């Protein structure tokens, strides 16, 4: 299983936003939508062995977590707008317990800490960070969880919570890349290893 | 110089489309917009040493070519909608000769064949294709041009035109990836080589 946890620091936590304003009013939700595309799309296929958690921490009611499950996903298209509509549908739900909004898309009030606690103990945990070891030189396991942040760095508190899970710090090249680009580069490396 | 040439087989060739309908009415223009994002964005930076040609071949007046020049680009944001607006502005122009629409964005009536003829003779030409040699094992030059197609394969005629430029066939991994994902994987490989 491949797993991504992405923190959306300002991402809106209600369905009260316009699909024409995914960057501004929705608190850079666009970054998370592109990360969904990078996580799940192959040409003419969806990655089934993939789970993604998007932790939304913006107003009005943080935290909320969207969980996407590749083996169940339907109605996902590559463009930002239609993915934004699926996520907005999820954010319309009011339960705090996890609830399904559409096939493969779940919503809950889980915090970042809660999400980390759902990661199976046997999973390798990797913190994507510019000063980490090059991914091409890192042993990767079949069950692997990558944790990263949106366009803002993790806070000291978020880093500390992650440290409890003994992550390895890994980087993806000589530059700093957008979150969705990071997700894609990881997928390609795992593809090449047959993982 | 890094250079990408991307063919948009059905991409609309007028500015007469809605930003709410980039996938349908605009002939999968969304694929090309995401490729722009992959070509130019680093975290908090734009790739300056980059040129991209998008060859639009859809109705009503094909062909038209959008050329983006990294060293001059302004007003580019990562989201599809705002990039779509910049491209729509370019498509409003009526000249057949190349004309600047906004800083770093040019529009002309150049065909795919015309575009290939503008590639400098000293540039290495690479055809991104699933049955090519793995990019990690290919010598890459500092001036390199990657040619690829949108979500539809190149036609036999398009392949033949490309063959006149002596391309090397190169692949990016064991799977077939979306065009924008291909552009990003190429960028990362070039970054790692310091090219």
Per-residue confidence (pLDDT) for residue B1, from 0 to 100: 96
Chosen from B81, B134, B185, B194 to mutate, greatest number of chain A CBs within 10 A: B81
User: What global pTM score does this model have?
Assistant: 0.98
Chosen from A43, A83, A135, A187 to mutate, greatest number of chain B CBs within 10 A: A43
Chain B residue nearest residue A151, CA to CA: B43
Q: pLDDT tens across B129-169, in order?
A: 999 999 999 999 999 999 999 999 999 999 999 999 999 99
Contact yes or no for A52/A35 (Cβ under 8 A): yes
Contact yes or no for A125/A168 (Cβ under 8 A): yes
Per-residue confidence (pLDDT) for residue A171, from 0 to 100: 98
Q: How many CB atoms lie within 10 A of CB A156?
A: 8
A174 and B191 within 8 Å at the Cβ level: the answer is yes
What residues of A are in contact with residue B192 (Cβ under 8 Å)? Answer: 173-174
What is the edge-to-edge ordering of all strands in the sheet holding B168-171? B99-102, B105-108, B64-69, B50-56, B2-8, B144-149, B124-134, B168-171
Task: Select the residue of A30, A173, A191 nearest B175 (Cβ to Cβ).
Answer: A191
Extract the residue ranges of chain B whose pLDDT is less than 70. none
**In Å, how far is B23's CA from the nearest CA of chain A?**
7
Closest CA to A190 of A122, A141, A132: A141
B38 and A177 within 8 Å at the Cβ level: the answer is no
B151 and A81 within 8 Å at the Cβ level: the answer is no
DSSP state letter for B164: T
What residues of B are in contact with residue A19 (Cβ under 8 Å)? Answer: 20
A23 and B192 within 8 Å at the Cβ level: the answer is no
Per-residue confidence (pLDDT) for residue B161, from 0 to 100: 98
Q: pLDDT tens across A96-107, in order?
A: 999 999 999 999
Secondary structure (DSSP) of B87-128: HHHHHH---SS-EEEETTEEEE---HHHHHHHS-TTSEEEEE
Chosen from A24, A46, A79, A194 to mutate, greatest number of chain B CBs within 10 A: A79
Can you tell me the distance from the alpha carbon of A39 to that of B20, in angstroms, rounded to the nearest whole number? 23
A79 and B172 within 8 Å at the Cβ level: the answer is no
The number of CA neighbours under 13 Å toward the Cβ of B16 is 7
Query: What is the CA angle A75-A76-A82, rounded to 5?
Result: 100
| Three-state DSSP state, B84 | helix
Q: Place A187 in a pLDDT band, splitting at 50, 70 and 90.
A: very high
Give the CA dihedral A60, A65, A71, A75, nearest 10 degrees: 0
Can you tell me the distance from the alpha carbon of A98 to that of A106, in angstroms, rounded to the nearest whole number? 6
Q: pLDDT tens across A38-87, in order?
A: 999 999 999 999 999 999 999 999 999 999 999 999 999 999 999 999 99
A173 and B191 within 8 Å at the Cβ level: the answer is yes
User: What share of chain A in percent tops pLDDT 90?
Assistant: 98
* Token representation of residue B72: 């001059």
Q: Place A192 in a pLDDT band, splitting at 50, 70 and 90.
A: very high
Q: pLDDT tens across A119-159, in order?
A: 999 999 999 999 999 999 999 999 999 999 999 999 999 99
A181 and B38 within 8 Å at the Cβ level: the answer is yes
Q: What HEC string does chain A produce?
A: CEEEEEEECCCCCCCCCCCCCCCCCCCCHHHHHHHHHHHHEECCEECCCEEEEEEECCCCCCCEEEEEECCCCCCCCCCHHHHHHHHHHHHCCCCCCCEEEECCEEEECCCHHHHHHHCCCCCEEEEEEEEEEEHHHCCCCCCEEEEEECCCCCCHHHHHHHHCCCCEEEECCCCCCCHHHHHHHHHHHHHHHCC
């Amino acid at each position: 299983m491949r797993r991504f946890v992405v923190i959306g620091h300002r991402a809106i936590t209600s369905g009260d936003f316009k699909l024409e304003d995914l960057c501004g009013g929705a608190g850079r939700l666009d970054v998370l939508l592109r990360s969904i595309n990078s996580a799940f799309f192959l040409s003419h296929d969806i990655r089934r062995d993939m789970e993604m958690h998007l932790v939304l921490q913006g107003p009005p009611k943080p935290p909320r977590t969207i969980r996407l499950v590749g083996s169940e996903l339907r109605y996902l298209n590559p463009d930002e707008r239609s993915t934004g509509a699926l996520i907005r549908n999820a954010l319309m739900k009011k339960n705090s317990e996890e609830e399904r909004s559409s096939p493969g898309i779940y919503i809950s009030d889980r915090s970042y800490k809660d999400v980390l606690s759902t990661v199976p103990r046997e999973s390798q945990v990797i913190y994507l960070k510019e000063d980490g070891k090059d991914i091409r030189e890192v042993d990767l396991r079949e069950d692997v969880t990558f944790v990263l942040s949106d366009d803002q760095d993790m806070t000291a508190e978020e880093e500390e919570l992650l440290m409890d899970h003994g992550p390895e710090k890994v980087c993806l090249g000589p530059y700093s890349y957008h979150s969705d680009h990071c997700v894609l580069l990881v997928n390609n490396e795992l593809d090449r290893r047959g993982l």
